[in-house]
Amino acid sequence: MVRQLAPDAPRALIAAGTVALVVLTGNAWVQLVAIALGGILGPWLCRHAATPIVAVFPVHYGHRGAAVFLAVFLVGLGGALMLPPANGPTAVGLAAAFYQAGALVFGGGHVVLPLLQQTVVDTGWVSADTFLAGYGAAQAVPGPMFSLAAFLGAEVPLGLPATVGASVALVAVFLPGFLLLLAVLPVWAQLAQRSWAASVMAGINAAVVGLLVAAFYDPVWTEGVRGGHDFTIAVIGFALLAAARLSALWIVLWCVAASMVASLLG
């Protein structure tokens, strides 16, 4: 993604600034500020780095339908943000928390990790070890990173069947993205032809690279690499992936097997 989205100095600067902002503040919601700053800096720093991309997506509704989808998205986000805190996890609170995470994340699936961690770990709904185990399981199966939401929803103690919690979390985290997509499609072709929009997106995409680096550091690195054994396993896994070009499944199997051996020996 660095080669594609931050290949030059201006966009690399935006990415580096995003990493510093998110890591130094330690607040997942600062991601929104970073994305906004990337969009603001885009027309200034990325004017010559972006070319308009014309993409046409035929839809069977117009601007009124788009406005309805946007209104539903905003109502859902407003309700989720204004929902009063409960004494413990509830199905409504779970839906609100995951709707917020799905609505306020931008970029690759890993960007949602800090938001989900703040939502379910910092509140005490799920332990940090369980959260990390779910992240590892999500890496071992095909599909989007948001599949982690189903695992976390099943783990949150709602007093309901695990399938209910998983379904609530999964629908809530995916729904806002689909609503925004449906709201934008009717105007996307006109928007994509404007050079300023392409520059804004170039700045935002550079910020996303920084967000992914920050998410790799915290929580992936800080929670997953806790000692020399973990570091060695991770380095060997990276070498197998980057140099030997093995598939991700073999890397997962190596890390699991090596971790089990290190645990037995330690």
Q: Which residue has the higher pLDDT, 1 or 241?
A: 241
Could you tell me the residue ranges of all domains in the chain?
1-52+194-223, 56-192, 225-266
Distance (Å, rounded) from C-alpha 78 to C-alpha 55? 31
**Spatial contact of 6 and 15, defined as CB atoms under 8 Å apart:** yes
Question: Which amino acid belongs to residue 29?
Answer: W
- Confidence (pLDDT) at 75: 95
Mean pLDDT of 15-31: 88
Give the closest residue to 170 by CA, choosing from 101, 223, 229.
Answer: 101
Give the closest residue to 259 by CA, choosing from 141, 138, 121, 133.
Answer: 133
Q: Retrieve residue 165's tokens.
A: 């919690």
- Confidence (pLDDT) at 53: 57
Mean pLDDT of 198-222: 87
Mean pLDDT of 226-233: 89
- Confidence (pLDDT) at 76: 93
